[in-house]
Amino acid sequence: MSSAIRETLQIAMDADLVAGNKVNEAFYTTVVTLICRRLKCECNITTTNFNWNASTHDGFNNFFQAVFGGDNPFAIGVSALTMTSERMQTVDFVFPIESDKYGIALFEAALVPIDQAAFFNALFARTSVIKTFIVIALIFVAIALLITCGKLILTSSFGSSHSTKIISVAKGMFGLYAVAFGQDGIATNSATSKSLYGFYSIWFWMVMVIGAVFCSLLPSFLTVATKQLPFTDAPSFRDSGYPLFGGPLPLKMLNDSTDPDRQAIAKAMEVLPFNEMYDCESRERVVGARAAFMTDGGSCSHLHKNCQTSFFAIQNMANIYEATFVTAKRSRHRNTFSRE
């Protein structure tokens, strides 16, 4: 991942998303911060009110001024952030034009599910069996240690009659554990009480240590992980091997650039007629790889049902021009945020 992406990532959260609810705001802020951490960058999260019904070009210009307090020279990729109970995915494409700073706008419709309790319940659902096993194992360990301690105390304090009963109970319970844990082949009858206790003490202490190590690592397993971004600039996109399809306007935008990398991308891009631009899945099947589709921003409201908007790329702040990258929704090649 390039060093630029490790800098501060400016994130604008629509005020309608939190609707004045501090609990929701804290929830979304936490989730976004988690994603930023996994991207290994800092986040500056701003809540802003903005009228997206304004005209497209002026709208984006005003949006960046509202978020960042002025016409800062950001090359912004405005990305939709998608959350489900199974995975998180965002920033599929980041295509900086003139600078190395990035921004992401989060929209209410892109956050699923809205209910934070349902989200976290689903996120941790897969670990229910693991947690149950750990609890049972720890209960076994606790009982075994109590019996062992009781045996030692009674042997030294009350004589052999009491300790013999405890030993009998302990042998029976340890035999039960042996069957439960697949150790039923142990010859408990011929083993002395001390050797039997010694064996199980070592065995249970090993279980405790392994359980403690696993529990300490469990939070890292439950966090959201991400692969490196497929590309972060024109050179890395050129070298990524992603087939690029686009319309005439994006082709003109790339050709008009003085950047040789963008001109090389334009030469490699396959220009499609408008009516073929959004058949994403069919196009991917033809090329046999994940494909990127670059369209003019005004077309984003007419996306084909099997296309997924990835982000809006803006050429520069002085002369606003937006382009939308789309990919197939059910792409076999789609990069996603998923648990490790």
Q: What is the pLDDT of residues 46-55, one digit of tens each?
A: 666 655 555 4
pLDDT of residue 262: 73
Q: What is the pLDDT of residue 251?
A: 75
Average pLDDT of the segment spanning 4-13: 54
At 257-285, the pLDDT tens digits run: 777 877 887 888 888 776 665 566 666 67
Predicted pLDDT of residue 131: 64
β-bridge pairing 270-271 and 244-246: parallel
The DSSP bridge pattern shows strands 244-246 and 292-296 to be parallel
Predicted pLDDT at 279: 63
- Given a cut of 70, whether residue 255 has pLDDT beyond it is yes
How many Cβ atoms from other residues are within 10 Å of residue 146's Cβ? 10
Q: Which residues contact 323 (CB under 8 A, 6 or more apart)?
A: 249, 250, 253, 294, 295, 296, 297, 312, 313, 315
pLDDT at 67: 54
302: confidence class by pLDDT, cuts 50, 70, 90: very low
Most confident of 57-71, 263-277, 288-302: 263-277
Residue range 168-227, pLDDT digits in tens: 666 665 555 555 444 444 444 444 545 555 666 666 677 667 766 766 665 555 444 333
* Sequence spans of domains, the chain: 3-123+230-339, 127-222
How many Å apart are CA 56 and CA 324, to the nearest integer? 13
pLDDT at 293: 66
Q: Residue 333's pLDDT band (boundaries 50, 70, 90)?
A: very low
Top-confidence residue, 83 or 286? 286
Mean pLDDT of the chain: 54
Q: Give the separation between CA 149 and CA 152, rounded to whole angstroms.
A: 5
pLDDT exceeds cutoff 80 at 161: no
Spatial contact of 315 and 249, defined as CB atoms under 8 Å apart: no
Q: Does pLDDT of 2 surpass 50? A: no
